[in-house]
Amino acid sequence: MILGVIDEQLKEDNPKEVRITFCRLVEDGYTEEEAKEKIAHVLIVELYDVLKYCIPFNEERYVSELKKIK
């Protein structure tokens, strides 16, 4: 399900940093599946906070964490 969300973000180019991160990871040698899994991990962490603390999704933090993926 989470990978489906990543696919949708890539398809819609929203947020654009998902595509930028995906392309960067693939260029760095990760497979497309591995790149999506790394992005999904960041999304899961963000969603955990949303669900646990009943707070809104923080896109700014999500984007910031995407930039840190190596």
3-state secondary structure string, 48-69?
A: HHHHHHCCCCCHHHHHHHHHHC
The residue length of the chain stands at 70
- pLDDT digit string, tens, across residues 6-46: 999 999 999 999 999 999 999 999 999 999 999 999 999 99
Tokens 């790149």 found at: 35
CA separation for the pair 35, 40 (Å, rounded): 9
- Model-level pTM? 0.93
Confidence (pLDDT) at 30? 98
- The domain locations on the chain are 2-68
Q: How confident is the model at residue 62 (pLDDT cuts 50, 70, 90)?
A: very high
CA separation for the pair 69, 61 (Å, rounded): 13
- pLDDT digit string, tens, across residues 38-61: 999 999 999 999 999 999 999 999
Q: Which amino acid, residue 29? A: G
